[in-house]
Amino acid sequence: MAIAKAERLMNLALCLLGTRRPLTKRELRGSIEAYLQTGTANDEAFSRMFERDKDDLRELGLVIETVEGIDGETGYLARRDSNRLPPITLDAEEAAALGLAAKVWQQARLAGAASGALQKLRAAGMPVAEDPYDTPGHSALEPRIPVHESAFEPLMLACRDRRPVSFDYRKANAARPEQRQVEPWTLECWRGHWYLAGWDRERAAERVFRLSRITGRVRLRSGAFTAEVPDHVTVRETVESWAGETANGTARIRLRSGHGYPLRAKALSTRAAGDGWDELEIPYGHGLDAWLVEFGPDVVVLAPEELRADVVDRLRAVAKG
Amino acid sequence: MAGNAIDQTRRMLSLVTYLRERPGARVADVARAFGISQDELIADLDVLPLCGTSFRGGDLMDIDTDGERIWWHNPDDVAEPLRLAADEATALLVAARAVATLPGLREGDRDALLRATAKLEAAAGEVAGASSRLSVIFESEGGVFADVDRAISERRRLWLRYYSPARDEITEREVDPIRLFAVGRTYMEAWCRLSEARRTFRLDRVVEIKLLDDVSDPPPIELRDLSELSSALVQTGAEDPEVVVEVGPGGRWVAEYYPHDSADELPDGGLRITLRAPDPGSLRRLALRLGRDGRIVAPQELADSARDAARRALAAYGE
């Protein structure tokens, strides 16, 4: 039976951490059972496996140095001082808070990484603490970060490693997707949806993309970023303006009493207008017309004229059926 | 949690560090510290004796267990605490920063999170930098959140005025809170005394909230796994009436916001979406909102009610 991958990786990690001098591929191959089993005839298979294993260990945080030997053979080692966790002391409260935080990821890769981080910290002496929101049988507070978009993981890695990408993207009101060439900067989750901010190479401008509108696969491109990465990227402001949360004026409406609570909650002023109606002044930004139409005959727009016309236009479309 | 070979390797590397410092550690304690089942731990302990820095001549780790306690007979100095990987630092830091933004979180917990975050950043060193490329914002109504939290910890019933967008009305009800959860927005799961059923309340729709002196006494119910909830959190069932909506390219967002049974492409770049709603009347708002970007195909009563509402609304503009 083939030796399990975890056992092979563990042995490679321990060999590299345990040695004081660089070990050659040949030496490692001769001392790790799983590599011996690949057979002496199959150099190709061993080399591929060895390269993949080193990459996997590096993903786990191991710093593996490559040293060119005098005899031309490459040696590898993981120095203790570059792999040691610096001293960190966390008290029970801090440990409990991190325990709560580590549970938020629902995405497999990050969930695994978060529990791996906690395990390293516990191994280094962090106390095991109770959930501060513990109630019988469950936690009374469960923050969760949803990740439903398949583009998330490749984009997360591309942001981390600063690699350009390309993907097909369908804008909100576009009939067909279009290919975009992007230097990805940051990913942000707002109201449960993920957004990417980056440099759009063809448009030569900063753009924000909603991950759920990426169709097909995200492809990594060779080469480096060409545009400078800004210190501060503001995804939220852009997305809020899409969502109509950025007001640049005010509107006056009549609202039937007892209706439209969310409009009332946003109102700058409200006064009774008689006959079972109130008059409100509300912030006016992109998308307000679509929202007001939802309230049907319980809302009448008074001003500005432009908003009134947009609402009437939308109502006519529905009235025609 | 056992997961793949990567997660197991990661865990075993920490496990040897942990065991080196704690000779005779109890299986139950170690499993708890590592967030795994005892069976998973035993499986790891089966692998470890096959591992070692074997280059130096067959020195495998002599780790064994009697099922109760774990002994490592030849502890090795190779087992030092390891630095955090970039993904590990990112996963924990991004999550800690996100939870710390929850308005209404107890101040003591927020302080502890911020202290822990600062220590982690320092310990992670340069790999902490990549964590700024990922961020999460939780939105919630701080005051309501804090009241619900207090009600749960003091086991008290809550009185609410709650806005229902489907009916565009505010109802009063008493509820026994069970838990708070955040999936983008923040919600309370509670037993509703009015409907005698479990209900999920979105905190930004709570108009008014009061802690009552009555003891909260929700019946024992099985908590749903949050990973199965969609971000829309609309509870629909296969027995609910079917609604068919046809949208143009400008109405494709409907498929992103409403859980649906199917969404078929139309030749003009639009979609034909089939969804289910316990009360199709609640979708009148959607029909009105869509305007020329879409229309209700079925049921006919819903399409009629939207058309009728639009005509009555137009009357106020003199049409």
The two three-digit tokens of residue B318, written as one number:
């003199």
- How are beta strands A65-68 and A74-77 bridged, if at all? antiparallel
Of B55, B86, B170, the CB nearest to A27: B55
> pLDDT confidence of A2, banded at 50, 70, 90?
low
Q: Is A25 helix (H, G, I), strand (E, B) or coil?
A: helix
Residues A36-93 pLDDT 10s: 887 666 788 889 999 999 999 999 999 999 998 777 889 999 998 999 999 999 999 9
B281 CB near a chain A CB, below 8 Å? no
| Nearest residue, CB atoms, B98 vs list A31, A145, A308 | A145
Residue B184 with chain A: CB contacts under 8 Å: 146, 189-193
The confidence score (pLDDT) of residue A128 equals 87
Q: Mean pLDDT of all residues in chain A?
A: 90
* A111-120, A146-155, A244-253: the lowest-pLDDT one: A244-253
B144-171: per-residue pLDDT in tens?
A: 999 999 999 999 999 999 998 888 899 9
* Chain A environment of B316 (Cβ under 8 Å): 297, 300
Mapping DSSP onto H, E and C, the string for B242-295 reads: EEEEEECHHHCHHHHHCCCCEEEECCCCCEEEEEECCCHHHHHHHHHHHHHHEE
Written as six digits, the tokens of A171 are 């804008």
**A:181-200 residues touching chain B, CB 8 A cutoff:** 185-193
How high does pLDDT run on average in chain B? 88
Q: Give the per-residue pLDDT at A79.
A: 93
The pLDDT-based confidence of B232 (bands split at 50, 70, 90) is very low
Compute CA distances B49 → B4, B8, B16, B157, B250, whole Å: 20, 15, 11, 54, 61
Q: Does A176 touch chain B (CB under 8 A)?
A: yes
The answer to whether the beta carbons of residues B279 and B287 sit under 8 Å apart is: no
| pLDDT score at B140 | 72
Question: Is the pLDDT assigned to residue B225 strictly greater than 80?
Answer: no
- Interface contact A225, partner B, CB < 8 A: no
Chain A residues with CB under 8 Å of B293 CB are: 173
The confidence score (pLDDT) of residue B236 equals 58
CB pairs under 8 A between A and B: 394
Interface contact B13, partner A, CB < 8 A:
yes
| Higher-scoring residue by pLDDT: B78, B165 | B165
User: CB neighbours (10 Å) of residue A153?
Assistant: 15
Rounded to whole angstroms, the Cα distance separating B14 from B9 reads 9
Tell me the pLDDT tens digit for each residue of A137-147. Answer: 677 888 888 88
Q: Is B129 on the interface with A (CB under 8 A)?
A: no
Residues of A in contact with B75 (CB under 8 A): none
Q: Is A232 on the interface with B (CB under 8 A)?
A: no
Determine contact: B180 vs chain A, CB below 8 A: yes
Q: What is the pLDDT of residues A160-177, one digit of tens each?
A: 999 999 999 998 778 789
Q: Is residue A124 packed enough to be buried (19+ CB in 10 Å), middle (13-18) or exposed (0-12)?
A: buried
Domain covering B142-228 assigned CATH 2.30.30.530 in the classification: yes
Share of chain A above pLDDT 70, in %: 98
Domain B5-72 architecture: Orthogonal Bundle (1.10)
Domain extents for chain B?
5-72, 86-133, 142-228, 242-315
A11 part of contact set with chain B, CB < 8 Å: yes
Question: How does pLDDT run across A229-280, given as a tens digit for each residue?
Answer: 998 887 888 888 777 677 889 999 999 999 999 999 999 999 999 899 999 9
User: Is B87's CB within 8 Å of A139's CB?
Assistant: no
Chain B residues lying within 8 Å of A298, measured CB to CB: 168
In this predicted structure, the answer to whether residue B3 has a pLDDT above a threshold of 60 is no
Q: What is the mean pLDDT of residues B130-136?
A: 91
Interface contact A294, partner B, CB < 8 A = yes
The reply to whether residue B119 touches residue A293, judged by beta carbons under 8 angstroms, is: no
Nearest to B175 by CA among B226, B141, B214: B214
Helix (H) or strand (E) holding A95: helix A92-102
ipTM field: 0.88
In chain A, whose CA is at the least distance from the CA of B54? A31
- CB-based contact B12:B41 (threshold 8 Å): no
Q: What is the mean pLDDT of residues B126-151?
A: 88
Q: DSSP character for B136? A: E
Name the residue of chain B whose CA is nearest to A211's CA: B256
Beta bridge partners of B193: none
Q: What is the mean pLDDT of residues B90-112?
A: 92
Nearest-neighbour CA in chain B from A28: distance (Å): 7
B167 interfacial to chain A (CB closer than 8 Å)? no
A297 contacts on B by Cβ (under 8 Å): 309, 312-313, 315-316
Q: Sheet of B63-65: strands edge to edge?
A: B25-26, B69-72, B63-65
Nearest alpha-carbon partner for B220 in A139, A141, A136: A136
Please report the pLDDT score of residue B231 as a whole number: 43
* Residue B10 to residue A146, Cβ atoms within 8 A: no
Given this model, what pLDDT does residue A172 score?
78
> How confident is the model over B202-216, as a mean pLDDT?
94
pLDDT of residue B247: 93
Q: Are strands B197-202 and B185-192 parallel, antiparallel or unpaired?
A: antiparallel
pLDDT tens digits, one per residue of A190-237? 888 899 999 999 999 999 999 999 999 999 999 999 999 998 887 888
pLDDT for B58 equals 63
What is the torsional sign of CA B53, B56, B57, B62? negative
